[in-house]
Structure 1
Amino acid sequence: MLSRTASGLYWMARYLERAENIARVLDVTNRLSLMPVRSSHDDELRVPLNLTSTSELFWTFNDRLAMPQLFNFFVLDERNPGSIFCCWESAWNNAHAVRGSLSSEVWESINSSWIELRKLRRKGVSSIGADAFFDWVKERSHLFRGAMFGTLMRGDAMSFIRLGTLLERADCTARLLDVTLYLTEQDDDTVREYYRLDTLLRSVSAREAYHTIYRQQLASDSVNEMLILREESPRSLRSCIEEIANQLNLIGGSGENRPRLLVTTLEAELRFSSYDSLVKEGIHSWLRDFLGDLGNIAESIQHTYLEAK
């Protein structure tokens, strides 16, 4: 497969997953902002800005921090390259460039979503409401993945799409865990902590999975353990890294392969670590190291597979 084709598939998938993740984060932020106000009431509103490192850009175009401003900035603002609109536009551009490597169903799922999003932008997302819009973004992402798994040949095209999706998903899960842990440390109210944990699980579609695995009320340590180490959860860090390793093995290649080396090392750490050992190291510290490792993996994939030699 040509490197430019692999790059188009990989980035198409990353942007689609990023758009879904932004919708999930905004949904979380909206729910958290409804909690009773405390002295640090704007901490919850800063979650999407901290996750995406766009605080400086946000304040360039806005003079106050409130949900309407956050919603506009992260949903439709073309000046924010990380907005849902810009992510879908970038995904569509990449998909169009590699259309020959996609099935007609996969292409149609992306193209029809992009057309509908532009219509929503003209009418205003307020015409359907924030909750309905978040659900729409997630449903369109599910439609893309369903078409991909159901119609795309099992080959390099599928592997590069999966790599982009899983790297973006692991990054978002780790950042959400880190921010939720920070908010909990700043506010020890048990009721608010419970609500944050419940909202976190909803944001990664893992609420039912949690109660299936643990059969107990929400507890911070159990939530962290599930989203870091439990392979049953499809959005856990371990699950994402193991599947990334699997896709890299399918792509194969001879000689030195730094992406496989880095992923295999991280996979072994997640497989053989206990949650107690992570707590001893410090979850904040471990998550920062994990994000650094993930960045190194993404950089090595870019250099090894996606750049023309």
Structure 2
Amino acid sequence: MLNRNAEALFWIGRYIERAENHARLIDVHYHIQQEEDFQAEGHKWSRLIDALGVRNEYLQQFESFAEQDVLSFITLDLGNSNSLFSCVHQARNNLRTLRQHLPSELWDIANGFNLWLGEQSVADIMSSPHQFYQQVKERTAMFLGAEQSVMLYQLLKLRLEIAHLHLQLAVRLHQREYVIIKEPAGCFQTLVKIKRSHEGFEHIGQQGRAGSS
């Protein structure tokens, strides 16, 4: 279960990272176009469509590369599986299946991000592009930071479960060994050593959990 949760979190994080990359690419594009002199207005935005690899999908809906159409398609269009909103939406939907296994904070961040994007319009973007994509980057950073903390906790729990399994295996092996050679006193002393060793490992794990909280 822990392995599956960690893997699912990894892919959820990839969706959020893709959304962050989109925001950075679009934000940088705005700065570049202010410094360069394009002969054709449409060329400014066709380059962005090509950079995201969605030219065919875009041309199925639009005939020209107008700023408003391009921004709407690559940022807010849920019909475009590679749009910024689609990436966040997919991450949020996948995260919903893990809600019972994760801190509520992670869900709250992803769900709030998804709801916020759903309330935005292309007019909101065009009124202040840098501010809009800066907010996207801040929200992705918040989610990824929280996700890393959760993944570390999940991996620590996995290590502790493995340690418990090793303890059980060691106890059974030594019980079998001392039953065969009929030395119960030696068996008891060995089991005490194993238990103390395991308790030391658990103490380290508890310190790790306290440090991460």
TM-score, with normalisation over the residues of structure 1? Answer: 0.46
Q: Which has the larger radius of gyration?
A: 2
Per-residue CA shift, 1:47-67, capped at 9, x if unaligned? xxxxxxxxxxxxxxxxxxxxx
- RMSD between superposed Cα atoms in Å: 2.1
- Report matched runs for 1:198-277 at 5 Å: 198-214=46-62, 216-253=63-100, 256-277=103-124
- Corresponding residue pairs, total: 155
The Cα of 1:249 is off from its aligned counterpart by 0.8
Change (3 A) 1:156 1:304: closer
1:298 alignment partner AA: L
Task: Report the AA paired with residue 293 of structure 1.
Answer: R
Aligned pairs for 1:77-88 (under 5 A) are none
- Aligned 1:1-309 pairs, distance under 5 A: 1-2=1-2, 5=3, 156=5, 159-191=8-40, 193-214=41-62, 216-253=63-100, 256-280=103-127, 282-307=128-153, 308=156, 309=209
Equivalent in the alignment of 1:57: none
Paired with 1:234 and 1:200, the residues of 2 have a C-alpha distance of 16
**Offset of 1:224 from its aligned partner?**
1.2
Name the SS for the 2:97 alignment partner: helix
Give 1:275's aligned amino acid: V
Residue 257 of structure 1: how far off its partner (Å): 1.3
Counterpart code for 1:303: S
Work out whether residues 234 and 240 of structure 1, in 8 Å CA contact, stay in contact via their aligned partners in 2.
yes
TM-fit CA distance, 1:284: 0.8
Secondary structure at 1:169's aligned position in 2? Answer: helix
Structure having the higher helix fraction is 2
Q: For the structure 1 residues 161 and 240, does the alpha-carbon distance in structure 2 shift closer, same or farther, using more than 3 Å as the test? A: same
The secondary structure found in structure 2 opposite 1:232 is coil
Q: Distance in 2 between matches of 1:297 and 1:174?
A: 15
Alignment deviations for residues 160-205 of structure 1 (CA, whole Å, 9 cap, x no partner): 34213212211211111111111122235342x5334223212211
Q: Percent identity?
A: 20
Consecutive unaligned residues in structure 2, runs of 5 or more: 157-208
Q: CA deviation at 1:264?
A: 0.9
Unaligned regions of 5+ residues in structure 1, if any?
6-154
Report how far residue 253 of structure 1 moved.
2.2
Match of 2:167 in 1: none
Q: Matches of 2:78 and 2:143 in 1, distance apart?
A: 20
- Displacement, 1:248? 1.1
